[in-house]
A and B are shown apart, each in its own frame.
Chain A
């Protein structure tokens, strides 16, 4: 055994190194969960109408568990806490999760640190869909979803499908082709959006508020429609973390590492687009969450998608819920403004502090 110890000791040191990312991710997950609970409490307790914290607690426990804490409250308080605040906080979390997971997926798929959920045209498609819905003289609501949400969802998926199909024609490498086609189709849709806004007249404000994003229309039925799509989509993406890891070194190397690149890319693209579409349909276009959160997570735990995806989901939920609480307390300003105001400076500080910077 004495002859072995010489070679085994460094190997053990190596294993210790390799386990490090796991420990850091457990730490990050723990603090993320604490933050999530904290922002949930603050988000539900806080608002323009003052409701005593104990009343809020009583309302929630009564609704959730049917436990009566022996307090009485006005019916309006019940509506405000249970039908407005709780679904709003939860919706912001679900949307934050969707955007962060989609961002991490697009960044990994396209091997591009600048990628976000909107990079391949989903945002322009959703925006054009929403603008058309605003301009159409038709109004209906099915299960909490109006024409605007419906057309935004369809627009996002239709645009990415177009980009994907168009990118497969032509001789460029698939990745370059995808990015360039996404840019081209996005520009075309943006022109359509500009036209719709030009023609919209009084409805301009409505289109504009969709573009800036927000949760003021959040409701239980909308949450019930969004949550399953986002939940299932995120779980299916997480199950493909291995493929995202393989793609880290490029498509050819991924193939050598046993990944069926063409199939995995199509599936991941579809899933990431689906959760993005589900998110933007209920929230409008909220920037920065999908770009910043995965990078912050990677700076802490490294590039392993098995850690980056779940931690991004958590981080996105926390960030967007916090941003929405700030947006509410600042007098209902659009949450997209808040995410950009928090996200951009934070991101710049992080980039300056990270040791190696980013290579494009």
Chain B
């Protein structure tokens, strides 16, 4: 579904990503993990076409990403933005409605089908009780769910998230993770998320990709990827302190 081949990114003479080979299949649920500065966010920017790699090629559904315009990419990949500042008073349904932009007719705007998609995305994420509320009044956790609903309304087969649980308390972290699992399992959405929390990643994602120093150092099931030796090498901490939960599946 998504393939990255020989990706190399450098800013001036600083190498940020090198030799990245990654294949994500339709229906995968993948967490990108690694220490700060490992290149996770840069990898997401390459994956979503915001950044053209110095070398290598990204393909999605068989087409090179570089050959697609922004609107075509937006119909295939939905990105949940990090916490955003909304400059004007915006109601929940108006925020989620932005997810329909790639499908809207440029001149006519939202049609009934778009409004229905927005309503069902809000229901799907379980935030119907927030209808009519100003997004800027919502808690960070509610806002995060609203941003996920925006991406769900976009109805793209691939959902990408950059640190979706940062700023959230434990309950909202788990709620967000369970929602991602649900979207993946029930709707078949391919989910790729950058996560800092190894515990959440190992518990909710069957496949982890570990980055360090701009390279993929491990790719596989959580218990293979997060071996004691790797944690020591990559994160520089004793794994006993990390308390890896054993995945339930």
Contacts and interface: CB of A to CB of B under 8 A. Distances in A.
A17 interface: yes
12 contacts: A12-B119, A13-B119, A17-B119, A18-B93, A248-B98, A256-B81, A258-B71, A258-B101, A259-B101, A298-B89, A303-B88, A306-B109
Interface string B149-163: 000001000000000
A173 interface: no
A356 interface: yes
A239 B107 CA distance: 6
Contacts of B77: 256
Interface in B122-156: 122-123, 128, 131-132, 134, 136-137, 154
Nearest to B80: A256
A111 interface: yes
A256 B74 contact: yes
Contacts of B137: 355-356
Given A17-B93, A17-B131, A257-B101, 17 more contacts: A11-B119, A14-B123, A14-B131, A15-B115, A20-B132, A239-B106, A240-B106, A253-B79, A253-B84, A258-B71, A258-B72, A258-B102, A298-B88, A303-B88, A355-B134, A358-B88, A359-B86
Nearest to B79: A256
A250 B128 contact: no
A207 B115 CA distance: 52
A255 B160 CA distance: 14
A14 B90 contact: no
A357 to B, nearest CB: 9
A262 to B, nearest CB: 10
A21 interface: yes
A112 B75 CA distance: 28
Contact of B123 (A11, A249, A252, A304): A11
Q: Which of B71, B86, B87, B89 has most A Cβ within 10 Å?
A: B87
A346 B217 CA distance: 61
Nearest to A240: B106
A257 B119 contact: no
A15 B119 contact: yes
B91 interface: yes
Nearest to B99: A257
Contact of A356 (B97, B118, B136): B136
A11 B120 contact: yes
A109 to B, nearest CB: 11
Interface string A316-331: 0000000000000000
A249 to B, nearest CB: 5
Contacts of A19: 115
A250 B101 contact: no
B123 A10 contact: yes
B94 A112 contact: no
A200 interface: no
A195 interface: no
Interface of A: 7, 10-15, 17-21, 107, 111-113, 239-242, 245-246, 248-250, 252-253, 255-260, 298-299, 302-304, 306, 354-356, 358-359
A257 B106 contact: no
B147 to A, nearest CB: 9
Contact of B89 (A107, A111, A356): A356
Given A242-B109, A249-B81, A253-B84, A302 B89 contact: yes
B128 A13 contact: yes
B88 A246 contact: no
B175 interface: no
Nearest to A249: B84
B74 A359 contact: no
B13 interface: no
Interface string B92-117: 01110111011010110100100110
B184 interface: no
Nearest to B71: A258
Q: Identify the 8 closest CB pairs spanning chains A and B, nearest first.
A: A14-B119, A258-B74, A258-B71, A258-B102, A256-B79, A303-B88, A111-B87, A253-B81
Contact of A359 (B48, B122, B131, B136): B136
B179 interface: no
Given A15-B116, A355-B134, A258 B84 contact: no
B89 A241 contact: no
A115 to B, nearest CB: 9
A239 B104 CA distance: 12
A246 B120 contact: no
Contact of A18 (B86, B90, B119): B119
A255 B70 contact: yes
B50 to A, nearest CB: 6
B85 interface: yes
Nearest to A115: B87
